[in-house]
Chains A and B, each alone.
Chain A
């Protein structure tokens, strides 16, 4: 196990962590403030990817595509909030699950109607395709460094907004006691729309950033969404800091587990046993982490509200 490889895997873990954070931040805020379980949050991830891919192919500029796709996803978020999500805040969790599960089916089918059943790929501009030398012998793709930096920047911006502005104060207040904020005369409905759409835009950003590496495909948001749920359960529902810490933990543990667990197990087990058990155990790691954290802190690391 050489240090360069470890470095690269740590960076890969950070990349996954950043993507998870962008998804989980919206999810945890929507959930914390509106008490709304949105299974269809992954749809924004998918839409961001498809819209950006289409724009990139049309405009022949990745930068322009990104700059347009994020606001478009924001607008879609506003429309979905006003049209559908708003009707469901009063419903109980079970009905929310059923309705947002229906939304997933609708979103996936609409994407299939518009873009067809195949995924959508597009090439990155030349500048982003190279490798960058980070340390004396560690090379890492430029684009992945960009993903990590962009994600961290958004995280920082979100932190500043949430903890140092008036809107952020209302968001935090809403997460810990919605009724009280309403009673104090704040137009909470506006706040809901804003938070929901911002969450959608962040999910869209995550989706469009990963699209050039994987591709934009139908249902791409559904699998990573579950991991985002694990993240917010670990971090504590309603907490942005919790979502960040949870995302980084999950991203790093998952990536490093998958890469190095068999080497690690070989220290105690036979070669054969390590080889066969490592993939299964590394698939379990983040869920074990979640179970352990919940055993000691059922409300998550930074739980705003108790479960």
Chain B
């Protein structure tokens, strides 16, 4: 997939991303750093959704639940003054992995529309559970007073250090997904999307493959939640509301499903719209809605799809 120009583009993007905090400090615009931290965290979450939705055809409408679980894995230990980042990270990955495993065992027995609704229902279940636990703030959410402590030399309270951590995680996740989807495992997963019965006939235990894929995806999204909890310093059940999951789907499809870069582009478009449009009109959701309908109707392959088709036309 990586053409020569694509490779250069990637190098330039990473270099630009590495220099951004210095530029933000120089230009005196720390706000820009916040925008990009959020963008990259959402890109991680969207990438994890892309792994099941794009590559293996499992349309989950409850993926934001893993963001919530990851974020509460920061918030609940912090509530008891357990600020070790490694412990919180382990909790985030462990809890989201367990949740993915347990619900996956039930969800993955079903197909198509049933799968969509069941993932949705389980996410909503977690939403209401956290709403009902008053100890951790219930509906009002929980303030995290201290960001994760990662050990000597690392201070996440410094926004640019958090920025580099998020950037590191994003690059790691994108490389992981790139490698994973091109491995034997990835081949099986992609083939299941195309024709599951044939894969079963070839002797693959497709349920197990899909389950592993679902758990990996959930854990990556849990990582995004861990970062988001640290970044916002405030968590609430609203983070796992189903409209958040809808936004993640929108990001994947806006950028281009089943591509490594697509979710990052989609998150970029989404954050761009979310940051710029409200300056023009308070009714900006209207235009976002229209954009989503247009993408659903005409936007096969998202931005990346348009780009490749346009390139194909200009270079016959």
Contact = CB atoms under 8 A, between A and B. Distances in A.
A87 interface: yes
A173 interface: no
Contacts of B131: 283
A78 B122 CA distance: 33
B304 to A, nearest CB: 16
Given A95-B296, A98-B250, A101-B250, A290 B121 contact: yes
A107 to B, nearest CB: 8
Contacts of A3: none
Contact of A279 (B112, B118, B133, B250): B133
Nearest to B57: A94
Contacts of A153: none
Interface string B234-259: 00000000110010011001000100
Interface stretch (A67-75, A208-216, A229-237): A229-237
Interface string B105-132: 0100111111011101110110011011
A153 B86 CA distance: 58
Contacts of B246: 39, 97, 101, 104
A304 to B, nearest CB: 13
A109 interface: yes
A105 B246 CA distance: 11
B106 A280 contact: no
A103 B113 contact: no
B57 to A, nearest CB: 9
B122 A97 contact: no
Contacts of B121: 226, 229-230, 233, 287, 290
A88 interface: yes
Contacts of A227: 124
A291 B242 CA distance: 19
B293 A84 contact: yes
Contacts of B53: 94
Interface stretch (B89-97, B182-190, B280-288): B280-288
B292 A287 contact: no
Interface SS of chain A: helix, strand, loop or mixed?
Answer: helix
A45 interface: no
How many chain A residues sit at the interface, stated as a range, is 35 or more
A273 interface: no
A106 interface: yes
Contacts of B110: 294, 298, 307
A222 B243 contact: yes
A87 B297 CA distance: 8
Contact of A109 (B112, B243, B285): B285
A232 B113 CA distance: 11
B59 A97 contact: yes
Contacts of A280: 129, 132-133
Nearest to B115: A307
A102 B291 contact: yes
B135 interface: yes
B192 interface: no
Nearest to B257: A94
Nearest 3 CB-CB pairs, A to B? A102-B292, A105-B289, A99-B296
20 contacts: A37-B113, A87-B297, A91-B296, A93-B112, A93-B113, A94-B53, A98-B293, A101-B289, A102-B288, A104-B289, A106-B289, A222-B243, A226-B121, A229-B117, A230-B117, A233-B121, A237-B114, A279-B134, A282-B132, A284-B129
Interface of B: 53, 59, 61, 106, 109-114, 116-118, 120-122, 124-125, 128-129, 131-135, 242-243, 246, 249-250, 253, 257, 283, 285-286, 288-293, 295-297
Given A106-B289, A108-B285, A226-B120, 15 more contacts: A35-B113, A95-B296, A98-B250, A98-B292, A102-B293, A102-B296, A106-B290, A109-B289, A222-B243, A229-B121, A232-B117, A280-B133, A287-B125, A295-B106, A307-B110
